Structure 1
């Protein structure tokens, strides 16, 4: 758990560093300097413009298509993350047995607990850190997508469906928050995380945060969040179902 927290802290640090590498309100152009701008944000901005031209100037459709395309590219990593989460879930009863066996807090007992826990991981071929790796790969891409949408000037001057892409909307943020809640609920369903009070708090706090932010930011970003979360909901449903069926027929292979 400590290692996972450290990895999470490292991811947050990466987000801060990447966000600080560029001015979020500064338009992205071919003259924008820096590795982050040149190799991440600007190429995505150009793809958004290119796709919009294919769709008769519809930047809304452009954002939707590009978001889905990026999610498809990241799909193998997300599958790996879900499988890792399920594998950890499958061995939770054995981990709890070890924790009860070595309940004493003295250094020697805790060392034995760590050793036998690692042996348990090796026995079932479970890497407790495997679920964190996809986060490191995804975050720069998703942050770059966020920057590209926010900093592409052409986006703000167009509308899509009932809302203006460059202005906040009042309906889309509610959809974004609802989709975020549903996605997190599905991810936690049947897992050990559902028993964790802190995770349960995040289940409600994160959708509220997304909703509030979406009320402030341009609706193009809310559209990006909605499409991404709806894709994740569909992905979770499609991937978890065969996993759960496999769990009923065999579980973790001994």
Structure 2
């Protein structure tokens, strides 16, 4: 968990650096040069404009649809992450026994602990870094999304509901933080027996999202709100079958 927190901090720092160092005042279009512009920012900008054109020029609806599409694309990876988290929980009792068995701090004992731990990971088919993969994939998307919104004039000047997509809104960040909190609480509740670090992240992530949302265009906060709502339903439908199965197994055992 500490490694995951460290990686999250590094990625967030990278987000601020990349969004700050690039020339945000340069409009994005088909003539924009550079791998970042040609392969990430412009295709996303073009797609958002294309979807908006289908929906009578509503860039707010376009962002909602694009967010759902992005979430559906990374859904298999999220499912794999959740399965990995379940397996990590199942192996915790054995991990505890290993730590107690190899409690000595000398190099030889710690080497044996690492070897036994790797065998345990193989037994449960667990990848200790799998929890970071969705974050690694989403970060470039978020950065490209930010650039696409900020550097596409049509999006920057568009109003959706009560807010301007290209400017900071002071209500949407609270909604983004609230939906993040609800999503995290549901995730922890569905997983059951969550460790203290996960409980802490339930409060840390909403604060982080709120800080982001108060410093970037409202379109990015809208992306988070829609993404969180999607993940709330996603978490329910992914975990519901396993919980039902557990209840049926428990009933049969009795």
Q: Under a length normalisation based on structure 2, what TM-score does the superposition of the two structures give? A: 0.85
Q: Which 10-residue stretch deviates more, 5-14 or 107-116?
A: 5-14
Q: Which 10-residue stretch deviates more, 75-84 or 239-248?
A: 239-248
- Once residues 221 and 133 of structure 1 are traced to their aligned partners in structure 2, the CA distance between those partners, rounded to angstroms, is 21
Q: Which has the higher contact order (CA 8 A, sep 6+)?
A: 1
- Once residues 138 and 159 of structure 1 are traced to their aligned partners in structure 2, the CA distance between those partners, rounded to angstroms, is 25
Aligned twin of 1:223: 222
The 3 A distance-change label for structure 1 pair 90 and 22 is: same
Aligned twin of 2:160: 160
Q: Within 5 A, what are the aligned runs for 1:173-252?
A: 173-189=173-189, 194-197=194-197, 199-246=198-245, 249=249
TM-superposed deviation, 1:241: 2.0
The 8 Å contact of residues 44 and 144 in structure 1, kept in 2 or not, is answered as yes
The 3 A distance-change label for structure 1 pair 6 and 107 is: farther
Runs of 5+ unmatched residues, structure 1:
none
TM-superposed deviation, 1:18: 5.1
The 8 Å contact of residues 157 and 166 in structure 2, kept in 1 or not, is answered as yes
Aligned length: 249
TM-superposed deviation, 1:15: 4.6
Aligned twin of 1:32: 32
Q: Under a length normalisation based on structure 1, what TM-score does the superposition of the two structures give? A: 0.85
Aligned twin of 2:101: 101
Q: Which 10-residue stretch deviates more, 21-30 or 236-245?
A: 21-30
- Once residues 155 and 141 of structure 2 are traced to their aligned partners in structure 1, the CA distance between those partners, rounded to angstroms, is 19
RMSD over equivalenced CA pairs, Å = 2.8
- Once residues 176 and 13 of structure 1 are traced to their aligned partners in structure 2, the CA distance between those partners, rounded to angstroms, is 20
Aligned twin of 2:120: 120
Aligned twin of 2:170: 170
